[in-house]
Chain A
Amino acid sequence: MSSLEIQDLSVWFGHDENRVDAVKGASFAVPSGASFGLVGESGSGKSTILRAIVGLIPTWSGQIRVDGAPLGKKRPRSFFKDVQMVFQDPYASLHPRHTVDQVLGETLKLHGFKDVDTRIAKLLEDVGLGQPFRFRYPHQLSGGQRQRVAIARALAPEPSVLLLDEPTSALDVSVQAEVLNLLSDLRESRALTYLMVSHNLAVVAHMCDETAVMKDGEIVEVMGVEDMRAMTPAHPYTRHLLDSSLGYKPSDAQSA
């Protein structure tokens, strides 16, 4: 069980005229065992927040607290067992010359598990991939199959916080349903805490109690699931997002 708190987080890349301020003073809190959503404009800094939390970007200011303890620039060893991330891009995040078996096996060994063999089989089953996939390389898998491997890898160390960056956008809707059900079950049985980025508002509403909406590096509003379902946001950008989520209208083509 772990809670996650972000306070006045700013993240930037480069310096001088090349500086990009990707996140500007973001704050939110995810109680232990809760599921929190991040939605918003493409390029608004959602992935950057997740990557700053796991320590992939050194250039940040503000506070990040896991279970009340503020994180420094260096993460303690235990952090990487506790907090796991599923990356947005299932292609880039798997080593091209490692089989599924190697990917999962190495993660398990790294975190000191002994019964590696049975755990790999169980993980594959949990994410809906059978034994035939165990010895395949990433290029022999479809997009959705790769994402399931990435989720299995994140679950392997039995973390308490999962940072999920578009975990189901590469999945078909049925596998998405299975994975979301799986994530819900795991959250319940293992009391996991989720921070989840998605462009699919229905997915976020299904999974999350609260959701932050981002635009241009800033959080414009934190919205409860009831307001989302009732389509009663506080900020005009959120209203625009909710309206756009209703499907494509040819009239949009004329006005765009």
Chain B
Amino acid sequence: MEKLLDIENLRVTFPTRQGEFEAVRGISFNLGRERLGIVGESGSGKSMTGRAILRLIRPPGRVEADRLEMEGRDLLGMSEREMQRVRGEQISMVMQDPKFSLNPVMRVGEQIIEIYRFHTGASKRDAYAKAIEMLQAVSINDPERVMRAYPHEMSGGMGQRIMIAMMLVTEPKVLIADEPTSALDVSVQTQVLSIIDRLVRQRGMGLIFISHDLNLVASFCDRVLIMYAGRIVETCAADQLHQARHPYTRGLLNSLPRLDAPQPRLEALKRDPAWTLAPSVSGRI
């Protein structure tokens, strides 16, 4: 498999009042021109994994790894300036918190135009046209109004789509999408995913898709890493997710409400301390 990202023994550590807290505890995986899903419970380290790849962990948090490479280039050894080029041009990340990552006092259009021009040096006019095109691509019906609007004037799902448009406008080689469609109705979600899907199929983009939606990951991704307490407990082909064996993964699957079968109560996970102690499973292929 042609490797875009190669990650070995990645760790993310935060100092806290109670001592050092390891949010990511030595995980290894690689990413080719594929759709790789990461699922796992809240706090299991999914977002920190994504942020660590882009070196976006704020100090005093620390990122360490035996290897953290993008197309053979060591990301940990890069200067902050070099990293700024990597972010956006090589690897983009759609953050879990769209409104938080947009500048609240800058119009939506200016933000997309700025990022596009920073990475491509395009003229203002071309950048405007490109921004409109991207907003239309993510199913925004009135792109001119949205270009003029401020982030707080956007609905939750519109903010999320604006972020996706902004991250895709530079045509990155790798997209890390952290819960990119959680605020979208299922119909718009399908449209947005189909754009990402096409970028993977036609342009060979690599995708890391972080999501709580197990059914969506099973139907959309190629393979899946399942995280628990900062480690990978299981990996599988996405279409085999519903047959996963680990009791934790089974617990997650069983806690889903179902449209076709009413239940009086939903099943919550019963955690086993042994899950935390088990070594991380490799996500390399």
Partner pick for B190 among A20, A40, A43, A252, CB 8 A cutoff: A252
On whether the beta carbons of B43 and A43 are closer than 8 Å, the reply is no
A169-202 to B contact mask, C-beta < 8 Å, 1/0: 1111111111011001000000000000001111
* Inter-chain contacts of A231 with B (CB < 8 A): 259
- Residues of B near A250 (CB, < 8 A) are 197
Residue B131 at the chain A interface, CB threshold 8 Å: no
Q: Nearest-CB distance from B210 to chain A (Å)?
A: 10
Least Cβ distance of B268 to chain A in Å?
5
**Interface contact B219-A248, CB-CB below 8 Å:** yes
Whether B215 pairs with A247 at a CB distance below 8 angstroms is yes
A45 to chain B, nearest CB (A): 8
Evaluate contact between A206 and B257: CB separation under 8 angstroms: yes
Interface flag for B84 (CB, 8 Å): no
Q: In the assembled complex, which residues on chain A have CB atoms less than 8 Å from the CB atom of B266? A: 176-178, 180-181, 206
Known: A42-B156, A171-B212, A175-B42. A181 touches B96 (CB 8 A): no
Distance, CA A166 to CA B219, complexed state (A):
23
The smallest beta-carbon distance between B104 and chain A, in angstroms, is: 9
Q: How far is the CA of A176 from the CA of B213 in the complex (A)?
A: 11
In whole Å, how far is B229's beta carbon from the nearest beta carbon of chain A? 12
Min CB–CB distance A155 → chain B (angstroms): 18
Alpha-carbon distance between A47 and B155 when the two chains are bound, in angstroms? 8
Whether the Cβ atoms of B42 and A171 lie closer than 8 Å is: yes
A205's nearest neighbour on chain B, judged by CB, is B259
Is the beta-carbon distance between A89 and B257 smaller than 8 angstroms? Answer: no
Q: How many A residues touch B, CB cutoff 8 Å?
A: 56
In the complex, the answer to whether A199 meets B190 with C-beta atoms within 8 Å is no
Residues of chain B within 8 A (CB-CB) of A39 are 185
Which chain A residues lie closer than 8 Å to B188 at the CB level?
41-42
Is B126 engaged at the interface, CB distance under 8 Å to the other chain? no
Q: How far is the CB of A180 from chain B (nearest CB, A)?
A: 6
Contacts of A41 in B (CB 8 A): 185, 187-188
The verdict on A143 contacting B194 (CB below 8 Å), with A42-B155, A229-B262 known, is: no
B22 to chain A, nearest CB (A): 14
Taking a contact as CB atoms under 8 Å apart, the answer to whether A241 and B185 are in contact is yes
A252-B219 Cα distance, complex, nearest whole Å: 12
* B55 beta carbon closer than 8 Å to chain A: no
B259 touches A202 (CB 8 A): yes
Binds A, one of B62-70, B167-175, B176-184: B176-184
Q: Sort chain B's interface into a size bin.
A: 35 or more
The stretch from B5-13, B109-117, B248-256 touching chain A is B248-256
B187 touches A241 (CB 8 A): yes
A244: nearest residue on chain B (CB-CB)?
B186
> What residues of B have a CB within 8 angstroms of the CB of A228 in the complex?
259
Given contacts A89-B156, A248-B220, contact A143 B179 (CB under 8 A): yes
Measured between alpha carbons, how far is A140 from B145 in the docked complex, in Å?
A: 35
B-side contacts of A174, CB under 8 Å: 41, 251-252, 255, 268-269
Say yes or no for B218: interface residue by CB 8 A criterion. yes
Docked Cα-Cα span, A143 to B97, in Å, equals 8
Considering the chains assembled together, what is the distance between the CA atoms of A250 and B214 in angstroms? Answer: 17
The answer to whether the Cβ of A2 comes within 8 Å of any Cβ in the partner chain is no
CB distance from B115 to the nearest CB of A (A): 21
Give, as a whole number of angstroms, the nearest-CB distance from B145 to chain A. 8
The reply to whether B257 and A180 contact each other, CB–CB distance below 8 Å, is: yes
A142, A165, A256: the one contacting B47 at CB < 8 Å is: A142
Interface centre among B156, B193, B214, B258 (most CB of A within 10 A): B156
- A176 & B255 in contact (Cβ 8 Å cutoff): yes
- Is A224 among interface residues, defined by CB-CB distance under 8 A? no
B262 to chain A minimum Cβ distance, whole angstroms, is 7
- The answer to whether A91 and B260 touch (CB under 8 A), given A172-B42, A173-B252, A199-B184, is no
Within 8 A of B (CB), among A136-158: 139-140, 142-145
Task: Check if B123 is an interface residue, CB within 8 A of chain A.
Answer: no
Cα A88 to Cα B194 with chains together (Å): 25
18 contacts between A and B (CB under 8 A): A42-B184, A88-B183, A91-B97, A91-B99, A132-B18, A143-B42, A172-B40, A172-B41, A172-B42, A181-B268, A205-B257, A247-B216, A247-B220, A248-B190, A248-B219, A252-B191, A253-B197, A256-B191
Q: Which residues of B contact A (CB under 8 A)?
A: 14, 16-18, 40-44, 47, 58, 96-97, 99-100, 145, 153, 155-158, 161, 179, 182-191, 193-195, 197-198, 201, 212, 214-216, 218-220, 251-253, 255-260, 262-263, 265-269
Given contacts A140-B14, A247-B220, A253-B193, 13 further A-B contacts (CB under 8 A): A20-B145, A42-B184, A91-B97, A144-B41, A144-B42, A172-B252, A173-B256, A177-B269, A178-B268, A181-B268, A202-B257, A229-B259, A247-B215
